[in-house]
Amino acid sequence: MFKDFVEQHRDTMISTLQDVLRIESVKGHPVPDGPFGTGPAQALSYMLKLAYDRGFVTKNIDGFAGHVEYGEGDEYIAVVSHLDVVPAGDGWSHPPYGAEIDQGKVYARGAIDDKGPAMSTLWALFAMKEMGIQPKRKIRVIFGLDEESDWQCMEHYFRYEPKPIGGFTPDASFPLIYAEKGLTTVRIDVAADADSMSAQVLKFEGGERFNMVPAHAVAEVDCHSSTAANEFALKIRKSAKDAQIDATVETEDSIVKIRVQGVAAHASRPAAGVNAVVHLAHLLGTGTVSNSSMWRTVGSWDTAGRALGIDAEDDETGPLTANLGRAQLVDGTYQFYINIRFPIRMTVDQISQGAQTYLSDKWQVSIVEHMPPLYIDPASPLVQTLMGVYAAHFGDDATPISIGGATYARAIPNAVAFGALFPQREDLAHKVDENWAIDDFLTCVEIYAEAMTQLANTL
């Protein structure tokens, strides 16, 4: 139904996709009209102006979020995406904000998570208007700017705007996500052993975001003499080689500096990455350093939560996952932030109490953030309508799935995640060389235009 529109506007659609991907929309310090920094504000401004210039009603809610609106009526269907991105990191083969196209794929941070899919929903709305489709209910394409951090954007937006009767977010995978694990981040504090006669850890830090597997970690250790430092460095190098850990070890007088390189990945799939913080803790645990038992414990932490005594699984959403996303030594206290995605039949109290019981009394466990699980009945009109749209395009007998990620489907009632990653495609969200196939982007415009039309006429 929308294929001809996509073919006619193909070049312009690709150009606008590249434009928004070139904006470095990482959360930063607040600026006027930009509570999340200059980059996210610029990305929102670009999207709203693109729609306004095509005659759409747009609204910017104090720089926290904004929407593009089409149709009439009080009730509306929402399509919610986000324009903020996680930091790019190092090691890209293409500039992370260059939006270069290579072999049919556009390379950029945010290509698939979530600026690319956001652009596809906007063009889907453009297609509906140009083709003269008049939906039964109003449709809003809503853009948030703080999804990768604290979701303050959605909290602020719905403080002033009514909630929809249903909708979807293009921020996961096809065919459709009907259940999302619960999410919590726990912080574990351990006092530094300042009186130890062993080598003293002066600095320890790694990770940038709770929801990313940390790709870098660094420690500085005072060995009290240059001779002891050289011996310690030799031992750490051997331990790194034996454990196949990518580490750089340098000495300067009595100080040993250790840098560990890991592999970034999304925290909902921590096994896909290599956790630099855990590896660094393992190396420190092989030496005679302050807080030696702590390092051995942290170095054993796994992605299933077994080493914390919280591993669990259910039939709907599968096993719990745990990601040590950030760690630091601050004012004499080690702080470890673990991002946990847990089955829908588990509670956050079970997690915090289970971890506290499993660990030493010297370890203090607290909750930093918490989102309850999401579950939408697969037989609901919402799921059945969207699955029908998917089947019409791909003609397969796919069934809805569950994930460990937390999407904006939780921000509105009666909502699920619908795309944008196609089956059998590699998930590069939060990874180096994130990219999205141009043909998939264009197909999503067709899918989302049909999905918006049917939802607005069905729910």
How far apart (Å, rounded) are the C-alpha atoms in residues 268 and 322?
Answer: 8
Bridge partners of residue 81, in order along the sequence: 143
The residues that are catalytic are 84, 147
What whole-number distance in Å separates Cα of residue 115 and Cα of residue 26?
Answer: 12
In the sheet with 246-252, reading across from the earlier edge strand, the strands are 246-252, 255-261, 216-222, 200-206, 321-330, 333-342, 182-191, 363-371
What Rg do the C-alpha atoms of the chain give, in angstroms? 24
Q: List CB contacts of 158: < 8 A, sequence separation 6 or more.
A: 411, 412
Task: Return the structure tokens found at 251.
Answer: 């000495």
Rounded Cα gap, residues 303 and 265, in angstroms: 12
Q: Which residues contact 165 (CB under 8 A, 6 or more apart)?
A: 75, 76, 77, 137, 413, 414, 459
Asked whether the beta carbons of 453 and 392 are under 8 A apart, the reply is no
